[in-house]
Amino acid sequence: MAAQDKRGSTVFVGDDVSVSAPLKIHEKPLEDVIAEFQTHADNGLSSAEAAKRLEEDGPNELEKPPRVSLLVLFLIQLNSVIMYLLMAAVVASAAIKATGDDADKFISYVDSIAITIIILINATIAAVTENSANDALEALSSLQSPMCTVIRDGQEVQIESSNMVRGDVVKLGTGDVVPADCRCIKANDFRVNEMLLTGEPEDVAKNTKIKARVPGQPEKLTADNMAFSSCNVKAGTCIGLVVATGMRTRVGSIAALLNEKRDDGAEEKGFAASKSFAALDKDGDGALTYDEVTVGLKMRGIKMTDAAIADMCKDLDANGDGKITLEEFDQFCLTKAPAPSAKGKSEGCLPDTKAGQTPLQANLEKLSINLGYMAILVCLGVFIVGAAMGTKDPEDPDVPSWLFMIMVAVTLTVAAIPEGLPLCVTIALSSGCSNMVKENVLMRKIAAVETLGSASIICTDKTGTLTEGKMTLVAMYAGKVDYTVTGKGFDPTVGKITTTKGDESANDSGGVRATLGSAVLCSNTTLKLETDPDSGVQKWTPRGNSSEAPLVVAGHKVGIKLEDLEGALARVYEIPFSSSRKMMVTITKTTGSTTLTHVAKQGEHTAHVKGAPNYIMEKCTSYMAADGSLVPFDEAAKAEFTAKVDELSSQALRVLAIATKDLGASLPYGEEEETDTKFGKIVGGLTLCGLCASIDPERDGVKDSVLQSREAGVRVVMITGDYLKTAIAIAKNINILNRNTFTEDNGEATDCGALRPHKEGEYLPNGDIDALTKTTSVFARAKPEDKLEIVKSLQRQGFVCAMTGDGVNDAPALNRADIGVAMGLEGTEVAKGASDMILTDDNFCSIVKAIEKGRIIYAGIQKFVSFIMSVHFAEVLQIFLCIVSSIPVMRQPLQILFLILVTDLPPSIALGFEPGEALTMKRAPRPKTQPIVMNWMWRGIVANGLILTVCIFYTYMIALWAYAGAFTSEEIIDPTRTSCAIWETDKMTPTLKIDCGVWTGCSTTSGDALYSAACKADYLTEWTSIVTGSASETAEADAAAAITGANGAYYTPHGNPACAICIDESIRRARTATFISLVWAEGVRAYCSRSFENPIWVDTFSNTSMNKAVLLAQITLFIALYLPGLNHFLGLYVDEIHGWGWFIAFQGAVACGVGCELYKFVAKQFIVEAELANYEEDADGNVKTADVAITVEK
């Protein structure tokens, strides 16, 4: 059929399908599949047809979203409310300065330029940090084999995997990577590792058989007659028919999930808006049923009546088979309505970052909005009050009051908006990312380091994450003796085999050597010490079937190696494992001397059998005792061995039975006989050598890490493809389930079938799913879609979810989780590309370290946010007080900017590097919606701001009185003032309230050099009111009249030049002294802010970053005070303040430190003692309640 020519095949299995449902690609007869794809099993496609299909379907590659460029990352950093506020302040300041008299001077725009630089630095740091670790999904295609062998025009040819098309016939062998989804045409002991898809480490045997449907029973996650794209071939050979390429493969369908936009409304139905409808094609034939089309229309937001949908389906259904090809439907939707983005909003120029905001980003956004409102209200309020009072600039009284107040309002904007806040957050997170590298954690997204600190649930895959991902032999049972096998991984030099009781070496045990000897001889896997060409590191690597690897490794531990045995025991025949036989058989002929004593004598044959215990024991008539002798395998012995199998299986161990049989000099079958006939003649009357039990062992430290997580209030949820009983056993081993309190009906372990009990695979309503996920810590038999639904359910309940994983099957959930954690060594590029952070050592324990680091970083962020906010609150309050009390504004805009960005910023950043508290990992995770600044912190911000304001304002008032002899702007600049504060050279203190008047000697005689019309000979009488009662005034008048050529004197009320200095310089002197005091006070407050509770003298200098920051602030202060040009540019005149200025600056700083510490002592009542995470478990699984009280921020 023409329409079928277009159809690829996305193979979805695992659903409970009815017998009447249309056949899927793996259920159809092979001849029908070959005919459907119009190819030939022996000759393959013609080159011309392959080229045509490549043109139609496109390359065999996975679609990838475009990488976010460095420029776009930079622009994204600017897309926040606080950045908008800062940019608004820049524009407002520049606009005001552009209308002034100094509009053409560079100095007028320094504040605008400085804020702009801060904005650019912040955005650059964040963008560069993210870009350096962000590889997005670029390496997805690296999973696929670059070259592959196909049959075209009847000839074997080598092509790039990207050029493979539907209908190609491909040849696969050991070590290959399956380049596309293939239906097996021929399979010879063909085994594929599907861990990337299923998460399970065991190799899967593939064949050409069609498995009939069983009503009411779910299918396997992967069909036995299918080989899926990107999976590794571990053994055997196969000739396969390519049925799906690119995005239509199983890996492609998962990649499509990663590219989807989040649409909460659609997700309630279990879907998300996507440009690809492959996920709907559950029949796997590249076409949609009418019902699936209806769902697809809803995904695209296209509203049509049922009648209109029916008419559309009939028009597009060219074949009349009740289906529409994916291409036809996609084209219809593009014509009808372009695919909308999440929630129906149109795409902007920048990626939408709101949906994926971390809790910290969301809280900062909320805080920024509140700060914006407060800044606007304060600025408006001050402007209105100042303009109404007619407040003028004492240093430039000609400027209209309203214009002066606009400039003050802009100054307040600079003071109110915490310019350093985003930079401090960025540096704290960036530094956290750098530090995490030392803990083997690579952060791909800068905010992720903090998010993990708020995680309340870790959803983790089992294989390769909690476990090694390497099957390891851990127990044996031979001759009715239990043996323990130690060591992990594939290194045979680590560990040994001993008796379980007595710890005696079993290297020479007849039962052990016979069991492992036959196991190795019945394997095709080799073990070699190989050197990595890149790193030069040597490691033991098995080649072949991963289920045989633990047997081969254990054989090496007792000196049994296949390469040593092959010289004396030549293999003459092999029957591969099959799902029907449940065992593998090899026959060796003894041709020389060997260390194995249980094999036949020279010239005779021995059969070696390994497989499922129940199948093999049915064929056994004897078993081998510990000393190597044979004992009848009666019912009692069989029951004993069966009980041992059950015991080992209950421990989540995979048990294999090993058996042998002496076949004599001649083989019991004819060469022409069928394999099954030969098999029947070989396996009768076997001797059971022993049982081998393997497990994928947990990683070192995982047990302790899981317990640490629970003590920190973080629940670990294991999501695995294992059967429920196996998953429960493993979860008990690693402390996810308490082995003493767990029961199968307590809701802590659930089969994922409970999430989708309906035959069509539809998920339960959200409420029902939420009820399951709320208590479940182990999910078994999980599909990729299940993991995604579980994560979404937990997020709906307000949990902050971290998801760990390494396989392709983990990628959608990694992408959806609040923070995705991928494995760096064993993880696929798909998983890494979907993650927020990567564990470079694949160690689950690193996650716990990352959680602790994230919590420490967040605590530091809270401290410097509180510190910065109190600084800005005090700045605004001080300026406001100056305006309403008609006192000269105590700081100029440049001084404010210098304080905030130069002297306050380094200590603020240092607070982000505060070491963690002792009970950091005993606290429960903070709620997702908890604000950065909580109520009690606001009280502290206000209180500390008030203390700082009182101390600095008091210092300023003293300085004004000392240098000006007045307080208000009007009094200070009054040209008629009669007194002032006069400073004599080299004096520590001023002479307060000195008269500004001056006596001048003169002559009353016209023409004299000292003649003045104001001259009076009776000056004491003329200015009686001045001299009466003042001997000093009389003496000064007489002295003036006594000069040569004078016969009188006159009095000038404002003639003292010292008073002019007082009027012109007093404000800048007071500002300089107050500036010094504030910088010192902030240094003291920085040390006070290191703890909300502990006094300043507790570990005062333990934060080396703080020591350096405060020292840097003091160095910059003295540079600003003494560097010529810069000091006057900033309005600082340190040479004019005398010793008195330094003294009052010091006392102001000390008073501020004392006040803040006193408040900290009083404020303890606001920090309420709360419960711990309240979980403690000992090594025996006994849970006890912690009795340590801890403080948490509320």
- Please say whether the beta carbons of 227 and 170 come within 8 A: no
Tell me how far apart the alpha carbons of residues 1130 and 492 are, in angstroms, rounded to a whole number. 73
SS3 1125: coil
Residue 146 CB-density burial (10 A; 0-12 exposed, 13-18 middle, 19+ buried): exposed
Amino acid making up residue 1121: L
Active site residue 461: yes
Beta strands in 963-1047 (DSSP E): 979-982, 991-995, 998-1002
838, two tokens: 């990567």
As a residue count, the chain comes to 1194
SS3 90: helix
Q: What is the largest CA-CA distance in the chain?
A: 157
- What is residue 257's DSSP assignment? H
152, two tokens: 């075209």
The four Cα atoms 672, 675, 677, 683 give a dihedral, to 10 degrees, of 130
Residue of 1136, 1160, 1141 whose CA lies nearest to 1084: 1160
Provide CB contacts within 8 A for 45, sequence distance 6+. 39, 53, 152, 165, 167, 168, 169
SS3 1093: coil
Tell me how far apart the alpha carbons of residues 475 and 917 are, in angstroms, rounded to a whole number. 44
Full DSSP string of 978-989? -EEEEPPTT-SS
Full DSSP string of 593-605? --S-SSSPPTT-E
- Please say whether the beta carbons of 639 and 521 come within 8 A: no
Full DSSP string of 334-359? HHH-PPP-GGGPPP-SS---STT--H
- Helix, strand and coil content of the chain, in percent to the nearest 5, comes to 45, 15, 40
Tell me how far apart the alpha carbons of residues 46 and 53 are, in angstroms, rounded to a whole number. 11
SS3 327: helix
How far from 853 is each of 428, 429, 442, 864, 876, CA to CA, in Å? Answer: 11, 10, 13, 17, 34
Element (H, E) at 588: strand 583-590
SS3 1191: strand
Residue of 126, 115, 233 whose CA lies nearest to 178: 233
Provide CB contacts within 8 A for 1065, sequence distance 6+. 963, 1133, 1136
Tell me how far apart the alpha carbons of residues 995 and 982 are, in angstroms, rounded to a whole number. 9
501, two tokens: 């009781």
873, two tokens: 């609150």
Given the residues 57, 263, 461, 696, the one annotated as active site = 461
Amino acid making up residue 720: T
The catalytic residues are 461
